[in-house]
Amino acid sequence: MTQPQRRTKARMRELVEALNGHLHRYHVLDAPEISDAEYDHLFLELKALEEEFGTPPNSPTLRVGAPPAEGFEPVPHRVPMLSLDNAMNADDIRAWGERMARALDRDEPLPLVAEPKLDGAGVELVYEEGRWIVGATRGDGQTGEEVTANLRQLLSVPLELEGPAERKRDRVSVRGEVVLPLAAFARLNRLRAERDLEPFANPRNAAAGSLRMLHDVDVERLRSLEFRAYAVAEGLPADITDQVGIQTQLRDWGFLISPDTARCSDLDEAIAWHEALLARRESLSVEIDGTVLKVDSLALQRDLGELSRVPRWAIAFKFPAHQEHTVVEEIFASVGRTGALTPVAKLRPVFVGGVTVSNASLHNQDEIDRKDVRVGDTVIVQRAGDVIPQIVAVVKTKGKRRRKKWRLPDRCPICDTKSVREEGEAVTRCPNGACPAKIRNRILHVAGRGALDVDGLGEKLVAQLLESGLVKELPDLFGLEVEALLALERMGQKSADNLIAAIAKAKRTTLPRFLIALGIPEVGAGVAELLANHFGDLDLLMAADPEALVAVDGVGPIVAQNVADYFSEGRNQDEIERLRGLGLEWPSIAPRSELEADGPFSDKTFVLTGTLPHLSRSAAKARIEAAGGKVTGTVSKKTDYVVAGEAAGSKLHKAAELEVAVIDEPTLLEMLGDG
């Protein structure tokens, strides 16, 4: 290796260490030291070096990308991930304490640790020699599903354990919960509402669902998640003797720990702490549904042992349900950006989960029929975070007369066009492209920060533009002139100049943002980025058929069909041409196929199976693709190589049957030029 190469490698190590440190300070410690722009500058420098010299396995650039498009492989938990018994009140907790006292033949109080019971998805992270190698769901407690690639998107998951080497055994297994913070939950649901998608019911479902995505990967949602560690199943340093010590060690390794934890001297103190946590539940940043109480002493935990599915030394003290009763005063149809007619229940205002609720989405006619919600009904309302509240069920009173069943209108309530419901769809829509409600919501969507970000263009101004006739279709927005705006009521010269300047700035955008602005169903930030990077050019993307679209890693058949259908419509094609003619433009992107055409793995197809010694599955996939290769999930006659690691399964047998070459990690690295 030459002196310049050594200097470059040293610089890469320096950048990796610095960037991972900044990620930890930002996402775990909440104490950033540099600006986003400075971080981006360092990140791009590292990325440029990696294009020439390869990607280190702990590089932060490996957090970018989509999970592999194949079924989840089983991951056995070497130490079972047990459930917890539930306690619903203080009497249950005292009975649990009495059972432990009898089992230990102990009269003195048992010190306990109280932790918030996080309402998310349990996962296990396995580290070898300090380096993260695999992440898995809880599954049935004995065997989980490998979700390493999806978990890699979580910036609170350390790629390497921090601290001295002697504190990191050969194998360390960390357990914790993946949660969606309430602020991110509210933001994601606002974006889904703008795209006429059904909001997530609660943070837990949104978190768990994102971990199990194979296609149509929602990178934006994954990046919003947090991993909070609470247990060490393997590799705990021998000098740690209590639960508090485990929390300290997890923090020292670089994990995010729930701040709302406490050591309690006895059951009464633990019960009081639980009540105090319940009182401030609404002020917490994440959704919780109770308190987990654990015996602090690890020696006493071992003495108490476990039953078949639960430990005797821990219990979940549950909170009461987050629900209230109210009355449905009216049901009306709201028209969204895509023309979807959404039934909304107007409720008698009720205080639920820290806020006063007066409306609840009923989503579609099928949902109304299933729950049989009618005007005048008493209903149970549930709220999680800032999502539009759900009507959980109708409270039916025997002998009470009910109103007639509610039906979505046959005609759009805004433009009076006959509504339609396509076969196989749950949504009823207004098909009129000129419907004022559709145009209004489209403009608001386009002006949003996630799309073209037209500063100062809010609901009132959009309403003015539509009512005045200055804007009748989306492209009209980008043809506005100052003189026309000055004719609007309460529109001064400065306000008009500012709006025109904001529109001019929005015209200079990026291809992913333009795709988001178009409002194609199911195309959010993550999918837009994948499509833009794959095709590089809007015209190539518009000409792609569903087969070409589904070949993009992270794009599934539903999204592919939606994209193809959108670009095949003449009205949409004309609108795009008008927008481009009005000056909307973006920098060109070199398509991935061109970047990789001359790589050493060009035209080669690989399949990964088992656990590799050093490379994670997503890291190996990224290295192969960077060299021009393709990674698939199924072994066939078209497969060139199967890369096999420890515990390789049926794919290895299939390779033998088809006489496909099988290689190990060292051979792969040698082929990549690392040998």
In a shared domain, residues 536 and 502: no
- pLDDT in the model for residue 32: 57
Q: What percent of the chain has pLDDT over 70?
A: 90
Burial of residue 529 (CB within 10 Å: 0-12, 13-18, 19+) is: buried
Q: What is the pTM of this model?
A: 0.50
**What residues form DSSP beta bridges with 335?**
341
Mean pLDDT over the full length of the chain = 85
Residue 396 annotated to the active site: no
In a shared domain, residues 528 and 475: no
In a shared domain, residues 212 and 287: yes
Which residues are within 8 A (CB) of 125 and not within 5 positions of it... i.e. 6 or more apart? 132, 134, 135, 151, 157, 173, 174, 175, 176, 227
Containing domain of residue 535, as a range? 511-589
In a shared domain, residues 281 and 348: no
pLDDT digits 0-9 by tens, 376-399: 999 988 765 445 688 888 988 777
In a shared domain, residues 391 and 266: no
Contacts of 433-436 with C-beta under 8 Å, sequence gap 24+, read: 433/571, 434/472, 434/473, 435/335, 435/339, 436/466
In a shared domain, residues 134 and 151: yes
pLDDT digits 0-9 by tens, 437-448: 988 999 999 998
Choosing from 540, 566, 589, the residue where a domain stops is 589
Instruction: State mean pLDDT over 179-189.
Output: 89
Is 12 a member of any domain? yes
Is 68 a member of any domain? no
Q: Is residue 66 very low, low, confident or very high in pLDDT (cuts 50, 70, 90)?
A: very low
Is 162 a member of any domain? yes
Which residues are within 8 A (CB) of 629 and not within 5 positions of it... i.e. 6 or more apart? 599, 601, 602, 604, 605, 606
CATH of the domain at 480: 1.10.150.20
Is 606 a member of any domain? yes
Which amino acid, one-letter code, is at 633? G
pLDDT digits 0-9 by tens, 193-248: 777 777 776 788 788 888 877 655 677 888 889 999 999 999 999 999 999 999 99
Is 170 a member of any domain? yes
Choosing from 589, 604, 627, the residue where a domain stops is 589
In a shared domain, residues 648 and 660: yes
pLDDT at 536 over 90: no
Say which of 117, 168, 630, 651 is annotated catalytic: 117
In a shared domain, residues 112 and 160: yes
Which residues are within 8 A (CB) of 431 and not within 5 positions of it... i.e. 6 or more apart? 339, 417, 418, 419, 420
In a shared domain, residues 106 and 229: yes
Distances in Å between the alpha carbon of 54 and those of 51, 460, 620, 644? Answer: 6, 52, 11, 21
Type and span of the H or E element at 329: strand 323-335
Contact 556, 215 (CB under 8 A): yes
pLDDT digits 0-9 by tens, 262-315: 999 999 999 999 999 998 988 889 988 899 999 999 999 999 988 756 799 999
Is 69 a member of any domain? no
pLDDT digits 0-9 by tens, 325-353: 899 999 999 998 888 899 999 999 887 76
CATH of the domain at 391: 2.40.50.140
In a shared domain, residues 222 and 138: yes
Instruction: State mean pLDDT over 490-504.
Output: 91
- pLDDT in the model for residue 385: 44
pLDDT at 64 over 60: no
Domain count, the chain: 6
Is 517 a member of any domain? yes
Choosing from 563, 589, 615, the residue where a domain stops is 589
Beta strands 605-609 and 641-644: pairing type?
Answer: parallel
Find the range with the poorest average confidence among 36-45, 216-225, 250-259, 603-612: 36-45
In angstroms, how far is CA 495 from the centroid of its own chain? 38
CATH of the domain at 237: 3.30.470.30
* Tally of CA atoms within 13 A in the half-sphere of 144 that contains its CB: 24
Burial of residue 268 (CB within 10 Å: 0-12, 13-18, 19+) is: middle
Instruction: State mean pLDDT over 65-87.
Output: 71
Contact 155, 358 (CB under 8 A): no
Pairwise pLDDT comparison (65 vs 511), residue with the higher score: 511
Is 409 a member of any domain? no
In a shared domain, residues 382 and 264: no
Pairwise pLDDT comparison (611 vs 70), residue with the higher score: 611
In a shared domain, residues 520 and 459: no
